[in-house]
Amino acid sequence: MKELDRVLFNLKVEKNQLSNKIKSLEKFRGTDDWNKLSVNHKQLLDIQLQAMRTYLETLVGRCLDIQERINNESISEENKPKNNEESIVKIIILED
């Protein structure tokens, strides 16, 4: 496995684990146990949740960046852009 593939795999595992933790905390916020917490503790958990969401967004961005690098590396030299002004465009057709 190439280095970038390994890094991407690890990031996706981390992203999925974090996503599950976020879902758990969001679900917990609507419970009786949540209502038993002090206002301060609820505020701290809300801050933690927001930080986790920001962290998740960062992981998603890193995954996209690495995937783009992997895709660009797989393009043959003859199909690569000739200069910095050209760019590769991917077109995805979704069928109904």
Domains within the chain, CATH numbers bracketed: 3-79 (1.20.58)
Q: Which two tokens stand for residue 33?
A: 């146990």
pLDDT band, residue 17 (cuts 50/70/90): very high
Q: What share of the chain in percent tops pLDDT 70?
A: 77
pLDDT band, residue 91 (cuts 50/70/90): low
- pLDDT for the residue 1: 56
Residue 64 to residues 4, 33, 35, Cα–Cα distance (Å): 12, 37, 38
pTM to 2 decimal places: 0.73
